Every structure is written in structure tokens, then in C-alpha cells.
Amino acid sequence: MILARATGFLFLATLFCLSFEKIQWELAGTIGLGGILAILFVVSFTLERLGAWPRGIPRTVAVVLLFAAAFLLVYLAGFYNIENEQAAAQFAKGLARFAITFSFAAVGIAYLARRPLRVYWFALAALCAGIALNGVYGVAQLVFAEAGRDLDQTLLGPLLGEARPINLYGAVEGADVYRPNALTNDPNHLGIVLLVPLLILTPLYLRLERGHRLRVPLMLLLPFLLLVELATLSRSGLLGLLVGVLVLLFPYGRRFVSSAVLVPLGALALALAVVVSRRIDFFETVVRSRLDTESGSTATHFEVYELIRPALDGHALFGLGLNTFSVYYEAVTGLTNWGPHSFYAALVIETGIVGTALFATFIWWVFRRLRAGHRLGKALAAMRDPLAARVRPLAWGLTAAILGVMAANAFYLTMQQSYFYALAMLALALPVTFGRRLSAA
């Protein structure tokens, strides 16, 4: 009983902390709080289920493990293309991250498959609550920065020794322009991770009955998260949000013009208008700089794709090695930029044609399972099961969130992080968890 409670706590705690990139330590390599909790959860669940393994595991978990084995083979094949110790060290870091994220995803699905339906909702709430806390921290960052103080060093410094401060974007007429990164390492990371609660919770909110106890909290939370999204000035985040909203317009277009949406958005627009009216020139300059398609930062996002062809010369099948893009990038350009400005460019360069095809197959399978979730929702609706009013919006929200994150990663790199695999875990676990309701019926 104690071990089962510990497993449940570690599962929810991991999901809550997955977006806290800044909270990390050097323990035989860099490892974050979310990674530590994920390892403890996997160990705890394994100990809890030792006597039950002969009963078998869900087919979805087996497929995830098969994909993990296939990815491992591709990564090990790419290891033989590594040419120096620096690249080998980066490869080891990437392999450790892969082992933690995939293990957590596989074990998380197995855990949800054996727990009551409410545990799935707790898991979704924990992930969204952790990201929402990031939003609150980001606003506090801005308040402290405008007052000339460093919230990160004040709050996280004693714990971590040194914490990355809020991003200083530049200055307009002597006034500093800040972009909050909250508990992530970059404003764009924050902008992309905010897509998860924004796009998952929106369809659930739209389908809530009047008087439901979550209607008002979500009516307040979603505009707040959108406000933080805008404050990050992340073009990648806004691109992902646009794609996600377009997906949700297909099933919920009419609901987007209802009072449930227009009232909170109108209140947010009014608040923004009041703030902007006080410093029109300031905000106009900032927005114009972010919309400038000829700036150096914009060019970098597109130029990274030009590196693919020369990088794969002689290593087309398995690439240069997992997590080694930064080493190649520095050797080619002379810049010590430890991350590409595109997940897909990094995917092709690091894992080659075989690795890219394998990842595309994995994503295709995730969407196949989401399609099963959509069908499950329709089946429950045909049975007049009230759970259908939650399952179908959840399936649409997960679909929009994954597509939004994928679009945002065309010009940034976050899909290798744990939050994305937690998102994939929830998508894959949806038909497994809620399918039991249909089987019981």
C-alpha cells in the first residue's frame, strides 16, 4: 500500500515538474528535477509490479518498447559516425535523456492502464498545473525585472547556486524589454510548452456544462496563459498556437464565437489595450522587431536547414550521432550555439534518413491511437454515456496540442524534451484508459 501510494505521488510529481528546466544539478551529468522524479517513478512502479509481470502488459506499452528498441539501434549505429570526445559526451547526454523520457512514457501508460479513470484526469491536471505555475513565475519575473531585481537569483540561487535570469531582449528609448522564460531555459521554450494546456484545456472548457465547478477556473486560467504566451514574444509559440486553433475550429468553430470565449477574450483585449495605450511607441517598436522577417535571428531559423545536406555527406543513413548537432554547428559556423533552431533539422542531421523515417513512423502511430480515441468518444456518445462529453474534447485537444508543438518546432527545438513525451504518453494512454469503459459496457 505504501509503495503504491509512493508510485502515484511520484507519477503526478514528475508530470508537474517536467517543464521546470532550470531546476537541475550536475550529478554525473546534468539532470533536472523532472528527470530525477521520473527515474524514481519507474523504479517504484517496477518494484510494485514485480509479482504481476507474468500477467502481461498492454499492447500499447509493448509497441512503445519496440519503438524504444528501434530508436536505440539507430542511435547506436550513428555513434560510429562520431569523430571526437566532445561529440561523444553530447551523445551520452542525449542517450540518457532518451532512456529517461521513453521509460517514463512506457511505464506511465502501463500505470494509467491499471488505475481508475480519475487518475488519468489527475495526470492531465498535474501536467497543466506545472506549466501554469511556469506562467505565474514568468509574470513574477517581469514584475521583479521592471523593479530592477532578479527573481531567479533570489528564489533559485540558494537552491541551484546560479539560475538563468529573465531574457533581456533589448531596449527601446532607454527602457529594457524583457521576455520571461519562467522555469524554462528560454522564452521560446516557455512559449511552446504553454501550448499544451492552452490547446488541451480549451475544447474541454468549451464542452463544460453551465454551472460546472471548473468552468470559472478555466475561464480565468486560459486567458492568463494566453497573456503569458504573448509576453514571451515567441513567434514559434504563436505559430503553434495558430495551428492548434485551426485544428480546434474544425469541430468547435461555432463554440469559438460563443460568450464562453468572447467574454474572457474581450476582457483580455481590454486589459491589453489599457496597458499598450500608455506606451504605444514602446510596444509598436517591440512588435515590429518581432515581425521583421529580414532580421538576423529570423535568417538563422531558415539557414539551419541549409546545413542538412553537407552534414549528411557520407552519413546519410544514420546521421552524425544523437545530440551532436551543436558540435557540428560550432565546427561549421564557429558559433558556440548549443542547439539548432529546428527540431527537424537536428533530427535529420543527427539520426539520418533511417532515424527520421523511424520518428515519422512513431508520430504516425501516435495519431493512429488518437484516431482510436476519437472513435472511442463517438462510440460512448452513441451509448449516451456522459463520459463522451469529456473523451471527444480531450482527443481533439491532444491532437491540436501535438500538431501545434510540431509546427512550433519547425523553427525551434523542444520536442526532445520530457514534456513532449508526457504529451505523447497521455495521447497513447487515452484509448487504453477510457476503452475500459466501453469494454465494461
CA pair distance 405, 412, nearest whole angstrom: 10
Place of cell 506511465: 108
pLDDT band of 334, cuts 50, 70, 90: low
Q: What average pLDDT score do residues 299-316 get?
A: 77
91 residue type, one letter: F
The pLDDT of residue 155 is 87
The answer on pLDDT for 336 being more than 70 is no
Q: Please say if the pLDDT value at position 243 is more than 80.
A: yes
Three-class SS state of 30:
strand
Residue 31 in 3-state DSSP? Answer: strand
Nearest to 127 by CA among 237, 25, 33, 20: 20
pLDDT band at 172 (very low <50, low <70, confident <90, very high): confident
Here the cell at position 316 is 546519410
Q: Are 74 and 358 in contact (CB under 8 A)?
A: yes
pLDDT class of 307 with cuts at 50, 70, 90: confident
Rounded-to-integer distance, Cα 316 and Cα 344, Å? 15
* CA–CA distance, 47 with 24 (Å, rounded to integer): 26
Highest mean pLDDT of the ranges 52-56, 305-309, 382-386: 382-386
Read off the pLDDT of each residue in 257-286 and give the average, rounded to a whole number.
84
pLDDT at 131: 96
> Which range has the worst mean pLDDT, 87-96, 283-292, 423-432?
283-292
The contacts of residue 344 (CB under 8 Å, 6+ apart) are 409, 410
**Percent of the chain clearing pLDDT 90 (strictly above):** 51
- The pLDDT of residue 229 is 94
Residue 413 φ/ψ region, left for φ over 0, alpha for ψ in the -120 to 50 degree band, beta for the rest: beta
Return d(Cα 395, Cα 374) in angstroms, integer.
6
Helix, strand, coil shares of the chain as percentages rounded to 5? 75, 5, 20
Range of the domain at 137: 2-440
The more confidently predicted of residues 93 and 200 is 200
The mean pLDDT of 96-108, rounded to a whole number, is 93
121 pLDDT higher than 60: yes
Please report the pLDDT score of residue 171 as a whole number.
78
The CA-CA-CA angle for residues 189, 195, 201, to 5°, reads: 150
Which H helix or E strand runs over 235?
Answer: helix 235-252
Q: Is the pLDDT of residue 92 over 70?
A: yes
Percent above pLDDT 70 for the chain: 92
pLDDT of res. 228: 94
Predicted local distance difference test score (pLDDT) of residue 438? 75
pLDDT band at 251 (very low <50, low <70, confident <90, very high): very high
State if pTM tops 0.95.
no
Mean pLDDT of 357-386: 93
DSSP 98-113: HHHHHHHHHHHHHHHH
pLDDT at residue 90 in the model = 85
Integer Cα distance of 241 and 257 in angstroms? 18
- Per the structure, the count of domains in the chain is 1
Q: What is the pLDDT of residues 342-356, one digit of tens each?
A: 899 899 999 999 999
Q: How large is the average pLDDT for residues 277-301?
A: 69
More confident residue, 289 or 242: 242
